Amino acid sequence: MKILALLHTQDDGALPKAALEVVTAAAGLAAQAGGTFAVAVLGAGATAAADAVAACGASAFYAVEGDAVAQPRYATDTAAAAALMQAAGAEVVLAPGTSRFARCLPGAAYRTGAQVDTHVAAVSVEAGAVQAQRWFYRQRILGAFSRAARPWVLLVDSGVYAPWSGAAGAAQAQPVAVAFGAEDSRTAAQGLQAPAADAQTIRPDAPILLVAGAGWTKKQKDGQYHIGEAGALIQGFLQKAQASLGSSKSLVDLKSDGQETLNFMSHMNQVGQTGSTPRHPKGLSTCCHGEEPHAVGWRFINERRAINLDANCGWAQGKADVVYVGDAFEIMAKVNALLG
Amino acid sequence: MNGFHIVVCGSLVPDPLQTLEPVTTPQGPGLKNETMLPSVLDPWSAHALYEADHLAKQVAGSKVYLVSLGPKAKLQQLMMTVAQKVPFELVAIDGSASGFTDAHLVAAALAEAITAIPGLDKSRLLVFGGCASASRDAGVTMQLVCERLGIRDFFSGVDELKVAPDGSFSVLERVEGGQYLASTCQGAPAVLAWATGNLPEPRNNPQVGMANMRGVMPALMKAKPAAVGVGALSYAKTEIPAQKRATRVVKDVGADEIAREIVAWIKG
């Protein structure tokens, strides 16, 4: 079986962590299947990036680089990825489920006559056939499945495999020519922007996720709103614990509805049904009573604790390891003080 | 410019508050009591629909279509609420809305239905949809529709679309680390798979509902059946992993002690 680890570089020309994880996955799958794997890289500095994983055991290396693929863009990325897939002639293509590849690889699969699946949480060989696992219904049902059709493109979620590490070398990556058309450059990337927020609050590699619920913006026991204080406590915790911030839908919806809320929150922070499902070792939920943050948003949080005024909150019971019954304002102030 | 033809792809999903249990059916995996589960418009598609309405109001001469694939009877129920939100012309496709269907088949059915819309002008075409569904959650359907329609510009996880007077537009797409990728595009045709956007859910408007329903019922009557199923997917199993945790409830304990325990846990 021929397997391809299809990767892309990031702005600085290096491979993102998710790409290195896919190298591990491809090497493992090739070993299970008794096959070989190749590595293909697209983006700025692709050849040098291939050199960085030269010792990974791949049988061949391919690269597409140049101005056309220096920035993420659907049309050019799709054309480049399709060319790399065709050059490698692999039956199974593993790729990182980054925003760049999630955007373009379904199109590349279509152009190469491949089938594509995303959000892959595991890939293995079962009874001689490649089998993948992913979640359906927003992390509620886990399915294991296979496809007979080849090529088969699988976008692997970040955090599933350990990143490959090893010595750099000379990969001798074969440059792959791509025939870009004039229509491929109708879109121009203008660069990255931080969301309209006071500070960077989303940190994918943070050791802990703080989930804030709408309770922070409700009247407190003195009958008054304390939104400013809530903001200071949350931001203080994020800074001291180097935590990432998640939010319930109800909290970020307040902003859309024009109500006063935490100004550093946006829909980007939302976890759950229409938000993200981040992976962090620990998660602390505060003032949050909905199912979505606890069932869907927390699916990939290993250790979970919650601060809740209601000891019988049905959504925290059975989903959190520990529920602290108390006033989050009071407790988080003391937590921040102890964190220094 | 003469306005956009905005086609929104969106279907029904089980109400997120429902408990879902996988079962095996002759057609492949399904949900227990699937036909009885209350449904809602897929959340990300709903955002796409609201953004389409917002854009149509900004650019004179624009028109919004909603292309929806699902069991006809359930689509009819869904339209009782969705049709009250924003004006649109429904294009219904009668087929499975299961999360276990193959996105490749779904995309083919959607592209075929879009192509068949009478009077659709591709030079003015913007195809909207959710960046993923709350059922299949594949995140590939809109790209496959894009390719089938021969469109070269696609944007995923869109939160903002700003159109210039000449029809060109700028887009913000969600990327890693809570950032946006900002892009500009020369104009239609394009496909945009929306995240949440920035608009609140519109209030129900009975007048909009009355106007929409005049077209909804005929659209449902002439909904073409689509053979959408698991296709080339072969499922080995579908299951709900045991997730219940033995929750320890800490109450009647002072904030100081709780804080100390939390900090020890964080640092541990």
Nearest to A118 among B138, B182, B253 (CB): B138
CATH architecture of structural domain A208-339:
3-Layer(aba) Sandwich (3.40)
> Count of CB atoms within 10 A of residue A228's CB?
11
Closest Cα in chain B, distance from residue A90 (Å): 19
Distance CA B53, CA A147 (A): 39
Q: Are strands B5-9 and B125-130 parallel, antiparallel or unpaired?
A: parallel
Note the ipTM here: 0.93
Angle between helices A99-111 and A74-88 (to 10 degrees): 60
pLDDT category, B227, cuts 50, 70, 90? very high
> Count of CB atoms within 10 A of residue A152's CB?
22
Examine domains A2-185 and A208-339 and report if their fold is the same. Answer: yes
pLDDT category, A257, cuts 50, 70, 90? low
Distance CA B131, CA B80 (A): 24
A338 or A293, which is more confident: A338
Q: Do B247 and A188 touch (CB under 8 A)?
A: no
pLDDT category, A310, cuts 50, 70, 90? confident
Q: Map out the domains of chain A as residue ranges.
A: 2-185, 208-339
Residues from chain A contacting residue B234 (CB–CB below 8 Å)? 145-148
Q: Do A143 and B157 touch (CB under 8 A)?
A: no
Q: What's the pTM?
A: 0.89
Which is nearest to B189 in space by CA: B159, B154, B230?
A: B154
* Minimum CA–CA partner of B144 in chain A: A107
Q: Do A107 and B177 touch (CB under 8 A)?
A: no
Q: Which two tokens stand for residue A339?
A: 């964190």
- Residue bearing tokens 């680089």: A65
How far, in Å, are A254, B101, B118, B175 from residue A222 at the CA level? 22, 52, 61, 41
- Residue bearing tokens 């569904």: B133
How far, in Å, are A59, A257, A261, A308, B251 from residue A254 at the CA level? 54, 5, 6, 20, 30
A266 or A186, which is more confident: A186
Please report which helix (H) or strand (E) contains residue A234, including its range.
helix A227-241
Distance CA B12, CA A4 (A): 36
The string of pLDDT tens digits covering residues B44-88 is: 999 999 999 999 999 999 999 999 999 999 999 999 999 999 999
Whether chain A has a CB inside 8 Å of the CB on B207: the answer is no
Please report which helix (H) or strand (E) contains residue A231, including its range.
helix A227-241
Ordered domains of chain B (ranges, CATH): 5-225 (3.40.50.620)
* CATH number assigned to the domain with residue range A2-185, chosen from the 4 options 3.40.190.10, 3.40.190.170, 3.30.1330.50, 3.40.50.620: 3.40.50.620
Q: Do A137 and B239 touch (CB under 8 A)?
A: no
The string of pLDDT tens digits covering residues B163-202 is: 999 999 999 999 998 899 999 999 999 999 999 888 888 9
Q: Which two tokens stand for residue B5?
A: 């033809």
Nearest to A193 among B22, B180, B260 (CB): B180
pLDDT above 80 for A295: no
Which A positions 192-211 lie with beta carbon below 8 A of chain B? 192-195, 200-204, 207-208
pLDDT mean across residues, chain A = 91
- Beta carbons of A77 and A100 less than 8 angstroms apart: yes
Distance CA A229, CA A238 (A): 14
Distance CA B40, CA B57 (A): 25
Please report which helix (H) or strand (E) contains residue B261, including its range.
helix B255-267
Quick one: how far is CA A85 from the chain centroid? 23
Residues from chain B contacting residue A107 (CB–CB below 8 Å)? 143-144, 146-147, 154
pLDDT category, A292, cuts 50, 70, 90? low
Q: Long-range contacts made by residues A166-170, C-beta under 8 angstroms, separation at least 24?
A: A166/A53, A166/A55, A166/A56, A167/A54, A167/A55, A168/A51, A168/A52, A168/A53, A168/A54, A168/A55, A169/A51, A169/A54, A169/A55, A170/A51, A170/A54
Please report which helix (H) or strand (E) contains residue A99, including its range.
helix A99-111
Residues from chain A contacting residue B137 (CB–CB below 8 Å)? 119, 135-138
pLDDT score, position A221:
86
How far, in Å, are A22, A137, A251, A268, B6 from residue B142 at the CA level? 25, 18, 29, 21, 14
Residues from chain B contacting residue A118 (CB–CB below 8 Å)? 138-140
